[in-house]
Amino acid sequence: MSTSKGTDHFSFGFLTVRLHSDLGYLGGYLLVNSLARPLEFHCTLPVKPTRAQNILYGPTLVDFLCGEQIARTLVSKAKLQPVIVWTDSPAVLALRNVTEIPVCQVRQSRQNSEASKDLVIPSTQHEGVRGGELSGMDIYVSSQHQEDWESVAKRWRELTKPIDLLEPFTRIVDALQEAHPSSKAA
């Protein structure tokens, strides 16, 4: 556990699952320290749901695939356990059903000019519950774990310096495109 030596030894997880029109779903998980420097990076190979899964899971497929399968696999691969897993993908909130780590969705209000057009955030019918606001951004938590907001807000107050909650996702997307060059438009 990386929380024993004060806030400077926190590690944070940033997890995103993106959808590529040809390749399928790609997951990336970046663990950073309090300086925002990378400690671990894990990414999946492209995951494509089968026709049967598409039919049988119906609208729950995205949550199942992104949150319970891809995100869970990525978190299980990490050596470090972060204090919070931040995500920009609402479907990843379903990860909270299978992990004890608080999972928060950062909903960006400002337009991200660097957002990849090739790797988009998959939409889901299930949205979390708004916990509050951090760094000017709305933070959502799983509707089954609304108590997460309290612990996240407490952690946030302990930080000696707030962190940028959006920027790491740009790095993850760039890294996914490095790892899977075909996901990047020529």
Report the distance separating Cα 183 and Cα 186, nearest Å. Answer: 9
Q: Which is nearer to other proteins, 97 or 127 (CB)?
A: 97
- Give how far Cα 156 sits from Cα of 5, 53, 140, 143, 164, Å: 16, 39, 15, 20, 12
Please give the residues from 123 up to 142 whose contact with other proteins meets the rule CB under 8 A: 134-136
Nearer to other proteins, 127 or 171 (CB): 171
State the burial class of residue 74 (Cβ atoms within 10 Å of its Cβ: 0-12, 13-18, 19+).
buried
- Give the CB-side neighbour count of residue 81, counting CA atoms within 13 A: 8
- Cβ contacts of 140 within 8 Å, gap of 6 or more: 90, 93, 104, 105, 107, 127, 128, 129, 130, 131
If you ran DSSP here, which 8-state letter would residue 111 be given?
Answer: -
Among 1, 109, 157, 186, binds other proteins (CB under 8 A): 157
Count CB atoms within 10 A of the CB of residue 108: 15
The mark string for 13-42 relative to other proteins (x by CB under 8 A, - otherwise) is: --------------x--x-xxxxxxxxxxx
Q: CA 162, 2, 91: angle at the middle one, nearest 5?
A: 65
CA dist 38 and 124 (Å) reads 29
* Among 43, 93, 121, 152, interactor with other proteins by CB under 8 A: 43
In terms of CB distance, is 41 or 140 closer to other proteins? 41
Residues 87-126, one symbol each (x = binds other proteins by CB under 8 A, - = not), give ----------------------------------------
51 counts as binding other proteins under rule CB under 8 A: no
- From 86-94, 120-128, 140-148, 163-171, give the range in contact with other proteins by CB under 8 A: 163-171
Q: Is 70 in the site for other proteins (CB under 8 A)?
A: yes
Residues in contact with other proteins by the rule CB under 8 A? 8, 27, 30, 32-45, 47, 49-50, 52-53, 56, 65, 69-70, 73-74, 77, 79, 134-136, 156-164, 167-168, 170-172, 174-175, 178-179
